[in-house]
Amino acid sequence: MDKPIRIALTKGRLERDTVALLEKAGYDCTAVREKGRKLILPIDGENLEIVLAKANDVITYVEHGVCDVGVVGKDTIMEMQGKFFEVADLGFGRCRFALAAKKGSDFYSGYNVKTIATKYPNVTRSYFESKGMDVEIVKIEGSVELAPLLELSDAIVDIVETGTTLKENGLEVKEYVCPISARLIVNMVSMKTRRQEIERLVTKLDWANA
Ligand code: PRP
């Protein structure tokens, strides 16, 4: 038998939603549900294996072909780019990229170059380039909402889901940048060499998601 098709899942919420979808599609995910600290889990009765990884690493593993398929947010895809096929929008993990700043502030007032804090410098750069606006970008690793509160930046570009984090920290959305959701990505070589198995998986997930 061929080696299993490896599916890299972004750990956390996307992992839970993907496991629910796989189960709806008829795959036995008992090993993932009872995983403990294990990171590579078989799907019983199928030549499939789940690999649990951080979002950026899902892309790295799929790009390098050590995983055939990946489930990752469009936010990570936009930030990392890379060479792979994006074959499906899975519909869950829905949120938006937004430009946010202190409530009541006028982001565009004044002539000074604005400072933007973000975990997503590439997304931020291309957003402001598309507006023809020069900004200074500061990379932050998490809780980006702190940056305007500490006066490090004029605004942030970040993910907004419910809006609660912004609201509870006295910030508000100034502009929405684009919608985000979980995507299914496929390694370019695997798409040729394991086409049938991958198409079967994608079709089953499509049906379960319909
Ligand atoms: C994300 C994002 C916001 C928050 C938005 O952070 O960076 O901080 O969720 O969600 P909300 O609109 O529903 O409040 P995450 O929880 O991933 O943590 P992090 O900031 O440490 O990366």
Cβ–ligand 1 distance for 143 under 6 Å, the answer yes
What are the angstrom distances between the C-alpha of 134 and each of 57, 114, 172? 31, 8, 22
* Torsion over CA: 203, 208, 209, 210 (sign): positive
Report the distance separating Cα 35 and Cα 87, nearest Å: 27
Cα gap 110→91, rounded to integer Å:
40
pLDDT tens column, 30-70: 999 999 999 999 998 899 999 999 999 999 999 999 999 99
pLDDT digits (tens, 9 = 90+) for 168-198: 999 999 999 999 999 999 999 999 999 999 9
Residue 133 bridge partners (DSSP): none
C-alpha 58 to ligand 1 mean position (Å): 19
Mapped onto helix, strand or coil, the DSSP state of residue 182 is strand
pTM over 0.75, yes/no: yes
Q: What is the mean pLDDT of residues 9-22?
A: 96
Atom nearest to 164 CA in ligand 1: 14
Is residue 165 lining ligand 1, measured as CB closer than 6 Å? yes
Average pLDDT, the chain: 96
Asked if residues 127 and 177 have their Cβ atoms less than 8 Å apart, the reply is yes
Ligand 1 pocket check for 158: Cβ under 6 Å: yes
User: Minimal CA–CA distance to 9: which of 67, 63, 92?
Assistant: 67
Ligand 1, residue 163: give the atom nearest the CA. Answer: 12
| Atom from ligand 1 closest to the CA of residue 158 | 7
What per-residue confidence (pLDDT) applies to 44?
85
pLDDT at 210: 87
Helix (H, G, I), strand (E, B) or coil at 80: helix
